[in-house]
Structure 1
Amino acid sequence: MAEPMVPNPRHAELRRLLAEAADRGEEVRRAYRPASAAMRSGQVWTGPTATAWTAELEARHRRLGQLAQRVVDAIEEELRRQPAMVTESQANAMRREAAGRT
């Protein structure tokens, strides 16, 4: 007799993690916009050092956004690799592993 299939518990956890990573990624993408806009306005600090500092700030901001997107992409890839349904014993094993009881 075939074992009953149940929703994969990893799916729920990965979806939760994906939502969290997407939210944090959006925060990262917005994080330095006010400082960058203020610096580009020319009303905060001017001169060659200010220009170099602004360029560095914006480069780091872009890099943070790229890294945040890589995290989201990795979680999405893992979610695609996981089957939506698993056997009940597989689901129980996944729950035990997640709880640290293997």
Structure 2
Amino acid sequence: MAGLESKVPNPRKADLQKLRSELAKEVESLGKTLKRPSEDIGGDKVWVGRNARAWHRELEGRHRKLGEQVGKLLPLLDAAIHGEPEHVPAAEARSYGSSA
């Protein structure tokens, strides 16, 4: 009789979609986090010389790595969302709500 149980919208999928929406906004912000300081240092606006160039290279590397890592987040969430069914049995939805 489990097949006769009513189905409801999947709350886990809804939570993942909400998380993705919020994260998409943050990804843009995170992508810009080191861009301005890197441009300022690299553009000789705030600091010049050998040490400034070394710091600029370090900052550029960190900016690139941050972008690479952040760029992996949305595809991971997209895959998780894609793997979730639209509807689940009501008991499963209730169980998810009590464990969250």
TM over 0.5: yes
Q: Give the equivalent residue in structure 1 for 2:91.
A: 89
Deviation at 1:92, TM superposition (A): 1.2
Q: Distance in 1 between matches of 2:42 and 2:61?
A: 14
- Structure 2 unaligned residues grouped into runs of 5+: none
Question: Unaligned regions of 5+ residues in structure 1, if any?
Answer: none
Q: How does 1:13-92 map to 2 (within 5 A)?
A: 13-92=15-94
Number of the residue aligned with 1:6 = 8
TM-score for the superposition, normalised by structure 1: 0.85
Contact between 2:42 and 2:52, CA under 8 Å: does it hold in 1? no
Tell me the CA shift for residue 7 of structure 1.
0.5
Deviation at 1:71, TM superposition (A): 2.2
Aligned mates of 1:60, 1:18 — CA distance in 2: 24
Number of matched pairs:
98
1:33-84: CA deviations, max 9, x gaps? 2111211222321122111110110110111111112222222211111111
Task: Report percent identity of matched pairs.
Answer: 33
CA contact (8 A) 1:21 1:68 kept: no
Structural RMSD (CA): 1.4
- Greater than 3 Å deviation, 4+ residue runs: none
Separation of aligned partners in 2, 1:43 and 1:3: 66
